[in-house]
Amino acid sequence: MEFYKYSGSGNDFIFIDNRKEQWRIKPKMIESWCKRREGIGADGVILIGSSEKYDFEMRIFNSDGSEAEMCGNGARCSVHFAYYHLKMKESKHFTFETMNGVYEGEVVEADEVRVKMTELYDVNAINISDLSGKRAMYLNTGVPHAVVQVSSVEDVRIKSIGSAIRNDVRFSDGTNVDFFEVIDPENKTIKLRVYERGVEDETLCCGTGVMATAVACAKFFNWSGMINVYAKGGFLKAIVDKEFKELYFQGEVKMLFKGEIAPA
């Protein structure tokens, strides 16, 4: 079985073309492939399937084998994969479906992809004000996020604190946890670290986390337009309008290598 290894600002994935539905992927296979020292190594596995209405279907699986509703970096990588390697069409603009919704994305430069984030709901549906001495907000941008403002992201014990919040009883299905620090309010610039549900550790970048944090900052500080985000995996851009109807996530995508692996 042929696979492609991708990185979206440090958030890495194993891509498999499954448009003919010839591969039956099991959770144990995904766990094995994602192991850093014994497998290919990745934060998750993405299957690209066919769609009756749209250009393709994206299914994203976490490294523990569980299926996720959506992944922003995975979506950006999927658009790059569809355009450059599957060569689905000449246009650089794609519409695709996920478990929960329909998304649009386009290749804006050689290795830079922008995705329109169409899901935003459950804003402040759960009160998490006790999680920060500054500001905190719960919301869902395709998957659930607890956004927590801190004085310094570098000082956060992210694995222990992130795990504790992720497993807090108030989140029935768990949550991702985003710790952010404002480093330049005039230029709407933040630093971000994310503890990701399903990976159960810090990841270098999380697209839905970038978007969730950008929306939270827009609400906290009345920001709109371009919000600059420095994650562990690099620099990203989030675009938020005042009505929260035009939400975009943009950044670098890299195809690292391709190879073959036994399907079982």
- What per-residue confidence (pLDDT) applies to 264? 64
Contact assessment for residue 144 and residue 129, using Cβ atoms and an 8 Å cutoff: no
Per-10-residue mean pLDDT of the chain, 264 residues long, equals 95 96 93 94 97 97 93 95 97 95 94 94 96 96 96 97 97 97 98 95 93 98 97 94 94 96 76
Active-site option among 34, 77, 205, 206: 206
The answer to whether 206 is a known catalytic residue is yes
DSSP code per residue over 32-67: HHH-TTTSS--SEEEEEE--SSSSEEEEEEETTSPE
The answer to whether 71 is a known catalytic residue is yes
Long-range CB contacts (< 8 A, 24+ apart) of 15-22?
15/45, 15/46, 15/48, 15/77, 15/78, 15/81, 16/45, 16/46, 16/47, 16/48, 17/48, 17/86, 18/47, 18/48, 18/49, 19/48, 19/49, 19/50, 19/56, 19/86, 20/50, 21/49, 21/50
pTM, 2 dp:
0.86
Active-site option among 71, 77, 205, 217: 71
- What per-residue confidence (pLDDT) applies to 137? 98
